[in-house]
Structure 1
Amino acid sequence: MRHSSRHKSMRASRTVQPDTSGMRWVEGGAFAMGSENFYPEEAPVRRVRVDGFWIDETPVTNRAFARFVEATGHRTVAEIAPDPKDYPGMPIELAQPGSLLFQRTVGPVDLQDHSQWWTFALGVDWRHPHGPGSSLDGLEDHPVVHVTFEDARAYAKWAGKSLPTEAEWEYAARGGLDGQDYAWGGELAPEGEMLANYWQGAFPFANTLDDGWERTSPVRSYPANGFGLYDMIGNVWEWTSDWYAQPRVEAKARGSCCVPANPRGPTRHESLDPMSAIPRKVLKGGSHLCAPSYCQRYRPAARHAQAIESSTSHIGFRCVVRNKA
């Protein structure tokens, strides 16, 4: 966890006119948001409408994030040591920079205990994604990871862009294929074809690597969806701008005249984690750690609550621009 008060740049960031050359224009429209086939936090299915917007073809890569850091001197939250005063009871030896890192277990474990495969690793950040001795060599075109919500928002502001709302993100991920469980249809792996980077095998200890990737994969490694967008599903979870809460039942539209336009999430207060009182944003899309045996969130409707101060080895982001001109 980190506090946003420590989120700083060595030089003031500059806002530029957005470059849409690596983006796709998505015409607005109505769609069935959510699902009632998998997890309760995705329900109810409700009809909503979004206006048109530009969206990045891929998650922001290490190469692109490095340009941002070079231009601004930005230091990510994971690169800044936490202040023990912000965390009463924290052992002083843990007051060092770091991030949450996934590590395989040696065998089956209790899947309700996330601490079996997640560890807060010192010296881990976007430059050292797999451990303090790792680097970005060969990972330039992989999604950047170990970024908090504030890191993602800082990049978006510098680029003259924004983070998508949950509705925008889900509409884009469906690629015009409305009402289907998966971004490509009704089957996870039609005829055995791997269409996204997710975990195959028994999580979290046996990955058969049917898709060829142990962790993240280079962007564009899988086919684009109907809107020409890559990696909307799997690879890395992606930050959205919406605060997290259970969708309201009354939001379920009962007729075409009742379709809400450009819905936004709840208030910051409504998003508080009852266990830690830290506000949470919505993550979308699942990641390379989602598995049929554990977390079936490699779908457009899937959503996850993430504390805004946390960074991990499986969370990234992409940006939007809402002005077509």
Structure 2
Amino acid sequence: MPDRATAAPHPLRASALRVEGGRALVGTATPRLPQDGESPLRRVTLKPYLLSPTTVTNADFAAFIDATGYRTEAERFGWSFVFWAQVPPHVDAPHGVVGVEWWRRVDGADWRNINGPDTAEAWHPDHPVVHVSWNDARAFAHWAGGRLPSEAEWEHAARGGLGDVAYPWGDTDPDDRDFQPCNIWQGDFPARNLGLDGYATTAPARAFAPNGYGFYNMVGNVWEWTAEPFRIRSVKRAVQARMAQMKGYKLSKGGSFLCHASYCWRYRIAARSGNSPDSTTTHHGFRLAFDV
């Protein structure tokens, strides 16, 4: 893989937004899913950094593949997870994941073939790339001369200068009636998505209004990998047992188009999730950070 340390700066660095350092907030004093380690609210000190205004798009990722010949983990494995409603009739995917049967293993699903073989209509150049693992995201970041953001960097950018708020726009909760400021689920999960926000799956990376710092879709649309392991600091035995099962998992932020308050209220700034570094799905992407 080419080393970009001696090459010209990548276009994604040129388009990245500067976030000033200083004191930043992480977490919340009012957790809605305390079992995920959302609290406490704490202050950390950050150095200035750059962050991409959007997630990495399919077009961005295609340029990486064309330049390097890289094969994603989903391509090497030969399959990935697709949400049941996205699986078209011609794709055979009878096996759901136990306990979360809406996820189907689909042979041939990858970043190009989002819903399985012969599903090119689901691929849009300006939508977030999906079916990328943490390892894939790191490979792209190295090629582009960047890195994945820390949790603190991600949250600081997502708050957009508003301080201790639940969402990039403030504290008003999205609903299933008349307020849809981001791409999440509306309706009865996982059976019926009303699509009131205009999208049943991913939205363009620049859909919806940016926050006060100019960042798009910091919540909803796709989960975003961070640089950090998924950790919960707790003395409770149940939490310790859970963390033992998730050893080696990586931290993701932001929620996705499949989140709803009735099931996965993780489209909040302080919300968190963990996945194995080789996990790939139709609702997981990433954005890049760069050192100043």
Is 1:27 equivalent to 2:13 in the alignment? no
Query: Is 1:220 aligned with 2:234?
Result: no
CA deviation profile, 1:289-322 (whole Å, cap 9, x unmatched): 0012211111111110111011111000000111
| Letter in structure 1 aligned against 2:108 | G
Amino acid at match of 1:181: A
Counterpart of 2:265 in structure 1 is 296
Please give the per-residue CA displacement for 1:113-162, whole angstroms capped at 9, x wherever unaligned. Answer: 64310122110000011122212665110000000011000000000011
Q: Distance in 1 between matches of 2:234 and 2:43?
A: 13
Structure 2 matches for 1:304-319, cutoff 5 A? 304-319=273-288
Give the Cα separation in 1 of the matches to 2:260 and 2:230: 23
Structure 2 counterpart of 1:119, which letter? R
Cα pair distance change 1:143/1:202, threshold 3 Å? same
Q: Which residue is equivalent to 2:93?
A: none
* 2:79 paired residue number: 98
Number of the residue aligned with 1:68: 64
8 A contact 1:201–1:293 mirrored in 2 = no
CA contact (8 A) 1:18 1:321 kept: no
CA RMSD of aligned residues (A): 2.3
Aligned length: 270
Letter in 2 for 1:38: R
Aligned to 1:177: 162
Q: Secondary structure of 2:100's match?
A: helix
Q: Quick check: 1:234–1:285 contact (8 Å CA) kept in 2? A: yes
Distance 1:217 1:192, change over 3 A: same
TM-score (normalised: structure 1): 0.78
Gaps of 5+ in 1: 1-11, 82-96, 106-111, 250-269
Q: Which stretch has the larger CA shift, 187-196 or 31-40?
A: 187-196
Taking a change above 3 Å as real, the CA distance of residues 319 and 136 of structure 1, as seen in their structure-2 partners, is farther
CA contact (8 A) 1:287 1:314 kept: yes
* Alignment deviations for residues 260-279 of structure 1 (CA, whole Å, 9 cap, x no partner): xxxxxxxxxx999633x651
- Are 2:111 and 1:126 equivalent residues in the alignment? yes
Q: State whether structure 2 residue 105 is matched by structure 1 residue 135.
A: no
Runs of 4 or more, structure 1, over 4 Å off, are 270-273
Structure 1 pair 134–273 and aligned structure 2 pair: CA distance change class (3 A):
farther
2:216 and 2:81 mapped to 1: Cα distance? 25
- Looking at structure 2, the residues matched to 22 and 135 of structure 1 have their Cα atoms a distance apart, in angstroms, of 28
The answer to whether the Cα contact below 8 Å between 1:245 and 1:271 also exists between their aligned partners in 2 is no
Q: Is structure 2 residue 63 aligned with structure 1 residue 77?
A: no
Deviating more after overlay: 33-42 vs 314-323: 33-42
Residues in 2 aligned to 1:14 and 1:48: alpha-carbon distance in whole angstroms: 32
Equivalent residue for 1:152, pick from 113, 116, 137: 137
Once the two structures are overlaid, the 10-residue window that deviates more, 55-64 or 36-45, is 36-45
* Aligned partner of 1:284 among 246, 249, 253: 253
Q: Name the residue aligned to 2:32.
A: 38
Aligned to 2:3: 14
- SS where residue 153 of structure 2 aligns? helix
Distance 2:189 2:104 in 1: 16
Q: Provide TM-score, normalisation by structure 2.
A: 0.86
Query: 1:218 & 1:233 partners in 2: Cα distance?
Result: 13
User: Looking at CA atoms only, which structure, 1 or 2, has the larger radius of gyration?
Assistant: 1
- 1:229 and 2:225 matched: no
- Pairwise CA distance, 1:100: 1.0
Deviation, 1:244, is 0.9
Q: Deviations over 1:78-100 (max 9, x none)?
A: 0013xxxxxxxxxxxxxxx0111
Q: Percent identity?
A: 42
The letter for the 2-side match of 1:194 is: Q
- SS class of match (1:239): strand
- State whether residues 54 and 321 of structure 1, in contact with CA within 8 Å, keep that contact through their aligned partners in structure 2: yes
